[in-house]
């Protein structure tokens, strides 16, 4: 088995180091210190021990040394998180469960494919946004569901979907930085042409309508601006669905052509069989001043 797909002894040891409540508390307290003072986050050992709430200096020092160099750095002014320590805290606070279920909730906007209301729902760690026939799916961490309105949740989740999908289109897994293989699956008559990407290292996989890839390409953003679509808020959701429902032409086996249209203009993308963008043709009719 290739080394990149197996767990080294060192990785196993480091994961085992995290299986202790005191050590996780140390990382969380150091993260609080980073939040309070990002430019000077280090804490002395006695201060850190007091904040974690451990009375015995010997026991605390043992746990701290177990984390040293990997998850915690010792500096002249005390202890601070390493970048890997920050990653661990991020994983812990993002939540390791699936989060609460959200029943279908209307967002007050209509589907660009069929004019039915767009709804948001969440179950089993996946968010679904759209109508019954045209929708986007995105796995999310429970932390995203906290203290967000349905509108904010939808816009933030779709932005995350677009960023992660673009990273995979460019061959880099947003979860593990491993290599992603990309393909376009052609129409079998019942399902739309889709973009698919899989990470060689962690198995992260996405399947999206091809036009979703194009929602935040520069030419699309220019068309959205000319069409008075505000991509910083909820309109990003309907703009992305507009891409998702855009028809795909396949003039040859290695060419896929997608056109996103508004009343103001259109932008046509030509992509190869690996979703590389070969050509962009844009036509925008700007309003003539009186």
Residue 48 or 111: which CB sits closer to Zn ion?
111
**How many residues bind to Zn ion according to rule CB under 5 A?**
14
Q: Does 111 contact Zn ion by CB under 5 A?
A: yes
Among 193, 199, 214, 271, binds Zn ion (CB under 5 A): 199
Residue 31 or 131: which CB sits closer to Zn ion?
131
Token pair 């986050």 is found at: 41
Rounded CA-CA distance 222/230 in Å is: 11
Residue 74 or 192: which CB sits closer to Zn ion?
192
Min dist. Cβ of residue 208 to Zn ion (A): 16
Min dist. Cβ of residue 248 to Zn ion (A): 17
Q: Does 114 contact Zn ion by CB under 5 A?
A: yes
Chain Cα centroid distance, residue 202? 15
Min dist. Cβ of residue 201 to Zn ion (A): 5
Q: Does 206 contact Zn ion by CB under 5 A?
A: no
Rounded CA-CA distance 49/35 in Å is: 18
Q: Does 202 contact Zn ion by CB under 5 A?
A: yes
Phi (first) and psi of residue 112, to 5 degrees? -70, -10
For residue 141, count other CB atoms closer than 10 A to its CB: 17
Among 42, 66, 182, 204, binds Zn ion (CB under 5 A): 204
Min dist. Cβ of residue 164 to Zn ion (A): 11
Return the DSSP state at 213.
G
Encoded tokens for 217: 């390409």
3-state secondary structure of 261: strand
Encoded tokens for 28: 């969380």
Min dist. Cβ of residue 170 to Zn ion (A): 13
Alpha helices by DSSP H, 141-260: 150-169, 218-226, 235-245
Residues forming the site for Zn ion (CB under 5 A): 111, 113-114, 131, 133-134, 173, 175-176, 178, 199, 201-202, 204
């Amino acid at each position: 088995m290739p080394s990149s797909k197996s767990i080294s002894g060192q990785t196993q040891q480091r994961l085992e180091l995290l299986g202790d409540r005191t050590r996780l508390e140390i990382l969380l307290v150091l993260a609080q210190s980073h939040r309070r003072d990002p430019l000077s986050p280090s804490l002395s050992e006695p201060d850190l021990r007091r904040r974690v709430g451990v009375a015995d200096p010997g026991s605390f020092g043992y746990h701290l040394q177990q984390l040293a160099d990997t998850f915690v750095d010792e500096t002249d002014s005390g202890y601070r998180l390493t970048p890997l320590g920050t990653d661990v805290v991020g994983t812990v606070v993002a939540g390791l469960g699936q989060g609460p279920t959200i029943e279908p909730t209307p967002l007050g906007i209509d589907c660009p494919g069929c004019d039915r209301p767009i709804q948001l729902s969440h179950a089993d760690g996946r968010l679904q946004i759209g109508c019954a026939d045209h929708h986007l799916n995105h796995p999310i961490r429970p932390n995203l569901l906290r203290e967000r309105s349905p509108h904010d949740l939808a816009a933030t989740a779709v932005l995350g979907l677009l960023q992660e999908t673009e990273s995979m289109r460019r061959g880099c897994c947003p979860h593990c930085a491993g290599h992603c293989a990309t393909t376009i699956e052609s129409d079998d008559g019942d399902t739309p042409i889709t973009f698919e990407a899989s990470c060689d290292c962690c198995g992260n996989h996405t399947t999206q309508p091809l036009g979703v890839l194009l929602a935040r390409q520069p030419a699309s953003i220019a068309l959205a601006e000319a069409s008075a679509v505000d991509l910083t808020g909820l309109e990003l959701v309907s703009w992305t669905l507009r891409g998702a429902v855009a028809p795909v032409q396949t003039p040859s086996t290695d060419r896929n052509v997608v056109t996103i249209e508004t009343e103001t203009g259109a932008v046509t993308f030509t992509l190869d069989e690996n979703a590389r963008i070969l050509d962009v043709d844009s036509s925008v009719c700007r309003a003539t001043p009186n």
